[in-house]
Amino acid sequence: MRVLITGAAGFLGSHLCDRFLAEGHTVVGLDNFVTGHPDNIAHLMGDGRFEFIRHDVSTFTYVPGELGGVLHFASPASPIDYLELPIQTLKVGSLGTHNALGLAKAKGARFFLASTSEVYGDPLVHPQTESYWGNVNPVGPRGVYDEAKRFAEAITMAYHTYHGVDTRIIRIFNTYGPRMRPRDGRVVSNFIVQALSGEPLTIYGDGSQTRSFCYASDEVDGIYKLFMHGDANPTNIGNPDEYTVKQLAELVVELTGTSAPIVHEPLPVDDPKVRKPDITRARATLGWEPTVNVRDGLARTIEYFRQHLGTPMMDPRTPRPRAGAASAR
């Protein structure tokens, strides 16, 4: 089929373009490069089955021709991004989702929403199941992202129940791998870049907070299976192996061989204390579970950063456009 992927030049969006093309589909990628980067999709530009549109999905969006699927991955998705771009984050989660849903409805296409484990907030239930409603501070610094995604889920379900649109909702847990941006506020990329640069690895708080890390290829496999074979109910896709932030830092130190120390900074406001997906539903309905363990996934990601640090795409000082709202997780 022919599918539209918003946020196509972002970390996950670009891997998703690769997967759909590898499966024989035709892909229209859409991004405005606020947090995505052209280098992530440069290898696709010579493929006749890939078309790119530079556009902000938060504004009126039209794509000519038939579409079998609309996958909405456009959004700032790291703490630094959505704290620097709060209005754009809210707009792409609300207006952008509305526009993408309207396009799917007009084309008779399946709609896929990239939601997030952040809808669970600082959870009081552990691990997190899809039936848990969350513990979110709507006016805290993370609220612009959390509530944008919660609204996006609500309007997606409304289009499903009221308009009969065939929809999917994925709740993505911490994902890492090649094409992450350096120093983007995500713990994996921060630790790796700091270690390779010989800088102290910064832990916020005492490092006892936990996260669950899913390698990009596993995440994309879950996304593809959910798109093709899932249903309208939200589905967690993530790796249930749980690590403290301190354990992750120590593993990065070991794998990079850095002699840099680990230092501690104050814990940010509303930082979740625990985060672990219950993937019972994904296992039962999709036959999916992750296959790449954290040690192997980190080794691959470290090698990617070794090869690409210093390039324009990996230079955190590179200016980026400030208007609009787009790009992927």
Catalytically active residues are: 145
Residues 155, 274: Cα–Cα separation, whole Å: 28
Phi, psi of 277, deg, nearest 5: -80, 140
Phi, psi of 211, deg, nearest 5: -140, 160
- Strand partners for 6: 30, 72
CB 7 within 8 A of CB 329: yes
Residues 216, 265: Cα–Cα separation, whole Å: 28
Report the alpha-carbon angle 226-23-73, nearest 5. Answer: 50
Residues 88, 76: Cα–Cα separation, whole Å: 8
**Distance from first CA to last CA of the chain, Å, rounded?**
23
Residue 234 CA to chain centroid, in angstroms?
A: 15
